[in-house]
Amino acid sequence: MRTTDATDAPATATAADVGAAGGEAPARVLDLRSDTVTRPGEAMRRAMADAPVGDDVFKEDPTVNALQERIAERLGFEAALFVSSGTQSNLCALLTHCGRGDEYIAGQSAHVYRWEGGGAAVLGGIQPNPLPHRADGTLDPADIAAAVKPDDPHFPRTRLLCLENTIGGRPVPLDYLRTATGLAREHGLATHLDGARLFNAAVAAGGDPFEQARLIAGNFDSVSVCFSKGLGAPVGSTLLGSREFVARALRWRKALGGGMRQAGVVAAGALYALEHHVPRLADDHAHAALFAEGLKDVAALDVEPAQTNMVFAEPAPGLTADEVRARLAERGVLCAAYPGRLRFVFHLEITREDTERAVRTVREALEGSSTR
């Protein structure tokens, strides 16, 4: 089973698709393509408008500095670097950990390998070594160990293990993270976590989400955290690590065009999200679970139980994912479609009532398509 966690599926509907087959469009589109589609609410917009700013390239933007200090303290790191996106954050990490001719180990469906334009290879001469995922999205420790190259001029130098949490909407168990990163250290590898949805994993673990996030992040040398997914900020991620690591990553951010000057305007949205939107991720998880439960008896779909804010479903034989996506789009529900698979993502703009409507819409769209 694939564990794709992409935010930009190649075959997604757009709002323009709604009602494309004719008829009156619904009053409100339910956009379940991704948790990146959220828009800042009034309070977040006010925080952004009122944010004190300065030139961040000179390290003089007080809001950027506050965000970097706050997330570093929350996750137990010495320093953090505000960047434009999760892709830029991961790329800065890879370029900082590895040099030309080095390689990193990641999963076949990991965002850092599959969905980021091959940036490490294109810009850093860094070779990926992608491994197959197990059913739960993890990499087999035996595969990780076997992938580490010996010190021989015939081979690239294996430098880094990259893991992702969540992966395909699945939280990765803490014991596994400890085992995998411990194995990496035994082989002399650095470790990086693509924690684009780290706080979803932390909320799923139960208890204090910041404490859980700290426990997860503490296994890694560097961690990327995204604010523009479930946390609902319009833009931005942070890369965390030691002071020395972040100082070197800052040079790569500059080389990648990441000096954003008065970036406090957008950092304020991320800071607001960090302070106000983490515990409420539990609502998204609950809505995803309600959606999956409401469709479990629909024979036209094989629906996976939700573990965080995502629901994946495979259409029955005779139906394609694109066909189902188009039917739903006509009825005002947008989702992502991959070959043979659908993804529905719940976020802060989707209420329980919206979720119930989405369930009804899917059932109506598939009525007569082998519904039990």
Predicted confidence (pLDDT) per residue in 26-46, tens digit = 459 999 999 999 999 999 999
Would you say residue 352 lies in a domain?
A: yes
269 and 290 fall within a common domain: no
**197 and 324 share one domain:** no
- Please give the residue that has the higher pLDDT: either 23 or 146: 146
Same domain, 193 and 57: yes
Tokens 């082998």 identify what position?
370
Host domain of residue 357: 11-34+280-365
Q: Is the pLDDT of residue 144 over 90?
A: yes
In this structure, the answer to whether residues 271 and 285 fall within a common structural domain is: no
The domain total for the chain is 2
pLDDT tens, position by position, 248-272: 999 999 999 999 999 999 999 999 9
81: part of which helix (H) or strand (E)? Answer: strand 79-83
Is 371 part of a structural domain of the chain?
no
Specify whether 49 is located in the same domain as 132.
yes
Query: Is residue 351 included in any domain, yes or no?
Result: yes
Share of the chain above pLDDT 90, in %: 91
Nearest to 239 by CA among 57, 53, 60, 91: 91
117 and 265 assigned to the same domain: yes
> Is 326 a residue whose pLDDT tops 50?
yes
- Express as a percent the part of the chain with pLDDT over 70: 91
> What CATH number does residue 334 fall under?
3.90.1150.10
Number of Cβ within 10 Å of residue 111's Cβ equals 24
Note whether 92 and 76 are same-domain residues: yes
User: Residue 355: inside a domain, yes or no?
Assistant: yes
> Is residue 345's pLDDT more than 80?
yes
Furthest CA-CA distance within the chain: 66
Residues 6 or more apart whose Cβ sits within 8 Å of residue 20: 326, 329, 330
Q: 107 in a domain, yes or no?
A: yes
In a domain, 1, yes or no: no
pLDDT in tens, 266-317: 999 999 999 999 999 999 999 999 999 999 999 999 999 999 999 999 999 9
Same domain, 271 and 286: no
- Decide which of 258, 276, 294 is a domain's last residue: 276
Residue 5's pLDDT band, with cuts at 50, 70 and 90, is: very low
Residues 249 and 352 in one domain: no
Report yes or no on 324 lying in a domain.
Answer: yes
4 assigned to some structural domain: no
83 and 134 part of one domain? yes
**Domain-ending residue, one of 276, 311, 334:** 276
